[in-house]
Amino acid sequence: MKSKHRIFILMTLSSLFTAHSTSKISIHSELWGQKEGKEVRLYRLANAKGMEVEITNYGGIVVSIKTPDRTGRIENIVLGFDNFTQYEKQNSPFMGAIIGRFANRISKAEFFLDSVRYPLVPNDYPNHSHGGMKGFDKVVWDASEISRADCVGVALQYLSKDMEEGYPGNLKVKVRYVLNNDNELRIYYEAQTDKPTILNLTHHSYFNLTAIKKNILEHDLTIYADSYTPTNSSWIPTGEIAPVAGSDYDFTQPHKVGERIKNLPHGYNMNFVIRKSSNNELSKAAELYDFQSGRFMEVYTTEPGVQLYTADYLNGSIIGSGNVVYGKNMGLCLEAQHFPDSPNNPAFPSTVLRPGETYAQLTIYKLSTR
């Protein structure tokens, strides 16, 4: 990670915490459960415009995002569960979680770094996916509250020990969720290691701007990407970077999510190469709009890619918040990330982190109405 990128992220965080408003904004926490001798807490963030975000330190999970529609009605727009026990036992789809150490897939559950082979847990046999059997989505993070005049948040920390799930290095990870009065949920990531390792963190909320009243196939989606990384049948990139033009993956102009999904046997589950003028700049990755509610979401990130996943593998076997059945296409993910299987594709942007370097990235989900 280049030092000037780290400085940009840290300066952005510092400026965010500078008071610009005296509007009412609040944070509240409560005990939500216990796991491995640690408290699992639920944090409720609220801003002056009626937006609320609930976050738990179990898995760094965003439990709910409540935001107004065009009439002012405040409703939840992400898939999740009502209690900690459900997350612990039923969250195989990674709803709302922080994913690490490595988001997405690593082929054949192995990578080479400095000529050393590192075998990983093949939890998506024969490949490795989303950090292994016990990734960052299944651990209890240390948490503290962030409270400023114009923003509130939760600061999470976790020490991933050397060789956890096969990854080298003791990795110190910090994730800060920050809600401000501009209806932005900002996610700041930072990490350091004591051995050369690889790292690719992301956030895995399933969004549904209808407040989960219907599926997401009528959502209008724009992705600011002129190319994508095609995959084989196991979702492993072929190494090619292909143009989206003329394909079912062209969202350079708004398209209904369901407009061409019938052409794809398993829906959308693809990494897009975000359009950037320079590496690591904060740029717009995507826009999502629901005409019925008027809700509009913008996604910004410093990451080079974003994964679109339309939840085609949800099959109705999971009952979520408010006893809603989570079936196919009930949400979609826009996961800011480095490319899948980057360690095994030298042409992809590097995910290597070395001692003395700082991993830093910022992703923003901004809500409004039209």
C-alpha–C-alpha distance, residues 129 and 221, integer Å: 26
C-alpha–C-alpha distance, residues 196 and 170, integer Å: 10
338 counts as catalytic: no
User: Quick one: DSSP state of residue 262?
Assistant: G
Can you give the pTM of this predicted structure? Answer: 0.94
Q: Going by C-beta distance under 8 Å and a sequence separation of 6 or more, which residues neighbour residue 237?
A: 229, 230, 231, 271, 339, 340, 341, 345, 348
Q: Average the pLDDT over 346-357 and give the result.
A: 97
- Taking only the tens place, the pLDDT of each residue in 5-49 is 454 555 555 444 433 333 589 999 999 999 999 999 999 999 999
335 counts as catalytic: yes
> Is the pLDDT assigned to residue 3 strictly greater than 50?
no
Q: How far is CA 294 from CA 6, 67, 72, 209, 322, in A?
A: 36, 11, 10, 8, 22
> Is the pLDDT assigned to residue 277 strictly greater than 90?
no
Residue with the two structure tokens 């000037």: 4
Structure tokens at 217: 């196939």
- Taking only the tens place, the pLDDT of each residue in 71-88 is 999 999 999 999 999 999
C-alpha–C-alpha distance, residues 272 and 243, integer Å: 10
Structure tokens at 254: 């708004």
C-alpha–C-alpha distance, residues 200 and 1, integer Å: 12
Break the chain into its structural domains and give their ranges.
3-369
Residue whose C-alpha is closest to residue 56's, from 147, 146, 140, 172? 140
Structure tokens at 88: 């612990």
Instruction: Name the catalytic one among 203, 204, 219, 338.
Output: 204
pLDDT at 279: 84
Topology annotation, domain 3-369: Beta-galactosidase; Chain A, domain 5 (2.70.98)
Q: What dihedral angle (degrees, nearest 10) is formed by the CA atoms of 239, 286, 275, 350?
A: -50
Q: Tell me what percent of the chain is helix, strand and coil, each rounded to the nearest 5.
A: 10, 45, 45
- The stretches of the chain forming alpha helices (DSSP H) are 3-16, 84-90
Instruction: Name the catalytic one among 184, 190, 287, 335.
Output: 335
